[in-house]
Amino acid sequence: MNYYAKPVARLIDELGKLPGIGPKTAQRLAFHLLHAPPEVAANLAKAMQEARNAIHHCSLCGNLTDVDPCFICGDERRRRDSICVVERPRDVASMEKARGFRGLYHVLHGAISPMEGVGPEQLNIRNLLKRLSGGEVKEVILATNPNVEGDATALYLSGLIRPLGIRVTRLAHGLPVGADLEYADEVTLGRALEGRQEMK
């Protein structure tokens, strides 16, 4: 049934295709866009189109970028001897927010998942090996997600990279900072125990 003028219905429809946006939210967003000053919708539309047009994958690390190499790969102040391997571009942002890492990244664009038909050949692995062949890299930090797919991917990559004589590490498992022991799941707690460290 059509309760709205066609352009409104179409806008609600397109908004409703976004992940996590149900029909009610789509409707609310549509009315917001129609009631707000015209530049709100115009700026959003422009940002979407510009991002789609300008953004591609960095030829070195595979991260999303509008310049090539990306601003991290192109940053002279970053260490070139360690590469942090992540699944998604958003993981680069998470790592950067944590601030601890000053090397370069490599984005796989996924993780090995036989259930979803994703094998190593679908991931950005060939470029990683090419980067490692230069001999400049001394350590690869595997920062894939701490779940089945991420662990499988880390294991696979470790098997490829360690024979090259490069140090391969994995982000530590353990209790999240600020967490409550009572509510930690037993697997996390087990890993936290396993990875316990000397008090300094």
13 binds a copy of itself (CB under 8 A): yes
CA atoms of 29 and 35, how far apart (whole Å): 10
CB atoms within 10 A of CB 193: 10
Taking CB under 8 A as the rule, does residue 1 contact a copy of itself? yes
Radius of gyration of the chain from its Cα atoms, rounded to whole angstroms? 22
Beta strands in the chain (DSSP E): 56-57, 64-65, 82-86, 104-107, 139-142, 167-170
- Is residue 67 at the binding interface for a copy of itself, with CB under 8 A as the rule? yes
DSSP tag of 122: G
Among residues 60, 61, 86, 92, the one that binds a copy of itself under rule CB under 8 A:
92
d(CA 5, CA 23): 16
Contact call for residue 55 and a copy of itself (CB under 8 A)? yes
- Using CB under 8 A as the binding rule, whether residue 89 contacts a copy of itself is answered as yes
By C-beta, is 49 or 133 nearer to a copy of itself? 49
The distance of closest approach from Cβ of residue 117 to a copy of itself in the complex, given in angstroms and rounded to an integer, is 17
Positions that interact with a copy of itself (CB under 8 A): 1, 3-8, 10-11, 13-15, 17-21, 25, 27-34, 38, 40-52, 54-55, 63-67, 70-71, 88-90, 92-93, 96-97
